[in-house]
Structure 1
């Protein structure tokens, strides 16, 4: 009996030691998540690299070409930003950009795609138009000898879904950056988040899923809800949604993420009506695109804390270079630009995040034009 008693005591002590080790490891792991996020955010805010494209491409091709631009939604600041950059770059090559308005609906985008194909444009850019949604039209364009290219038209950068290339930052990097900002800001304080996405777009789902996964790594963070809300309807829907969530979650509602800045814009009236300070919780963080309205909200501290901005003009020039390379029959450069984490500490003075990397000169030299 005494022997059994001693064995029991030894077993109890061993279990206690194991439990203590697990608790300490868990605490260390939680601290590591926060520390890692703080380092990542600090590095992202000061980043200067990732914005210079490789000097690989072709001399200017096909002067006089007409490039179709099928805009998913012309009220989207990211899309209009890219369109402005595309026009700027195309002009250097003597090309014309013809815009087709998708009117923010699947049927509107199909009509726009069909119109561009019927017009026999020389190449086609899907400006935020999902290539999976428009798969039949991408096939039709290819059959008609019209190469297609995308901006935010699929969940990953590079050739896919019938497109010669899809230009975007890495959605997982964008999501990690956005989530890390909230984790770093909160530190060891508990916080809750709502994530807004739009299931019409694969890239949106990829972003929102990745944000949720990052938040769940932090013991202090809780994903309260992932809300599917069309980007095109944020101004109409967000006030009521935000009002409802303020009542539902109360003080637990610390941050809300949008897969672009339209959600923050739509939420602002409801936050103001609820008497919430422009600099108070719930804090808005956008996982793209960094348009002029977002930058202004951040600059003036009005209902948006940060954004993970796309270098829109740089991506536009990258698209034009991809088309030029395709016309020349050479491989499209495999390169993905970095996103830019922006808060009030580093918000640019202009209306767009346009890194001073000399990318325009790189492309102009490649094309042999001025």
Structure 2
């Protein structure tokens, strides 16, 4: 999850979503392991995938403090124009209402300058805390400094690598955990390994600048390292990086170019679902979708359109969903713990892999865990 650099409407997403985009291509030096199908390694991968596909019924942590009354929260979001960021912002306002606090939403409109201005505006109202959505230290540094000077704690959703357990870095709380997004990237790669009977030849596409998306690439790379160590036959035929700001402009064409230049691939790995749809558009324009080959795509986020494609047996075969709304409630629960003088905790925000066999359980792209996380938080807050 790397530092968020954007101009104007380079919207993070959530990957959060949060959505992304393409600037261009470039092909990585192919990496490969030259062995054969390894039954022992494959059994481990199958066990991982089975676990990711299963219902995720773990509840949020219990034993937290009763709601500290009378708090006012400022929510500063990167933009309300992007679906993922708006989903999280709406979930934060719902969580604030559920715990009995009040909130005000400030729209950064996709601009670092505007977001910093909105933070300054929020600080003048003296809120008890600020929650950021997809805004990190590189984009709202002045606002973070002003909040620190005013002794206002700042939580963040979608800037996962910027918190320190000891110093709390610029943030009092960050949800979800960084490791979760790494697991998403690894899980989708493992699924592709099984679908190719242990011989995936990947085209990969991801934004190398956004924090949560970089974590997904790290998870993919971890799998490739494990495959090589096991003597497996896994390779990256070509890597095409892109930028979030260009997902609807150049990514499709770049995908078509990469596919035509590297016809030996059998699996496409995309960092997140919205980008995946643009990649499929490019492959379709190049005459590769639909086709007679066994090529397919895997991605992550659990977006509704992608779930429909998976359920229908389309080019995308799997997505790894993350419970973003749960993460928003986790932000508020951790702030409540801070107000009560208690440490923040692991909030058990889940992920789940969906393919055609379980797509009917993905709640039309609104999956947020297989347990009633909201009821669990309400029980804790009411004491």
Return the TM-score normalized by structure 2.
0.78
- Paired positions, count: 339
Q: Which residue is equivalent to 1:183?
A: 193
User: Is this contact kept in 1: 2:192–2:200, CA < 8 A?
Assistant: no
Q: Which residue is equivalent to 2:298?
A: 285
Equivalent of residue 205 in structure 2, options 195, 206, 219: 195
Q: Which residue is equivalent to 1:239?
A: 252
Equivalent of residue 300 in structure 1, options 291, 302, 312: 312
Cα distance in structure 2, aligned partners of 1:158 and 1:44 = 28
Q: Which residue is equivalent to 1:267?
A: 279
Instruction: Find out whether 1:224 has 2:237 as its counterpart.
Output: yes
Aligned CA distance change for structure 1 residues 226 and 114 (closer, same or farther; 3 Å): farther
Cα distance in structure 2, aligned partners of 1:148 and 1:303 = 41
Q: Which runs of 5+ in 2 are unaligned?
A: 1-33
Instruction: Find out whether 1:58 has 2:65 as its counterpart.
Output: yes
Q: Which residue is equivalent to 1:368?
A: 382
Aligned CA distance change for structure 1 residues 247 and 95 (closer, same or farther; 3 Å): same
Instruction: Find out whether 1:173 has 2:160 as its counterpart.
Output: no
User: Is this contact kept in 1: 2:309–2:315, CA < 8 A?
Assistant: yes
Q: Which residue is equivalent to 2:46?
A: 38
| More helix by percentage | 1
Q: Which residue is equivalent to 1:212?
A: 221
Aligned CA distance change for structure 1 residues 332 and 213 (closer, same or farther; 3 Å): closer
Cα distance in structure 1, aligned partners of 2:156 and 2:35 = 44
Q: Deviations over 1:245-299 (max 9, x none)?
A: 12221232521221x2221122232122223335866533223x32333333333
1:16-35 pair list within 5 angstroms: 30-35=38-43
Q: Which residue is equivalent to 2:261?
A: 248
Cα distance in structure 2, aligned partners of 1:244 and 1:38 = 33
Q: Which residue is equivalent to 2:14?
A: none
Q: Which residue is equivalent to 1:341?
A: 353
User: How large is the RMSD of aligned CA atoms in angstroms?
Assistant: 2.8
Cα distance in structure 2, aligned partners of 1:299 and 1:29 = 28
Q: Which runs of 5+ in 1 are unaligned?
A: 1-25
Structure 1 position 238, deviation (Å): 1.2
Secondary structure, aligned partner of 2:316: coil
Aligned CA distance change for structure 1 residues 102 and 284 (closer, same or farther; 3 Å): farther
Q: Which residue is equivalent to 2:116?
A: 110
Q: Deviations over 1:227-255 (max 9, x none)?
A: 33222431122112112112221232521
Larger CA Rg, structure 1 vs 2: 1
Aligned CA distance change for structure 1 residues 115 and 52 (closer, same or farther; 3 Å): same
Q: Deviations over 1:19-67 (max 9, x none)?
A: xxxxxxx968844333321221122111434x3111122222233x432
Return the TM-score normalized by structure 1.
0.81
Q: Which residue is equivalent to 2:12?
A: none
Q: Which residue is equivalent to 2:75?
A: 69
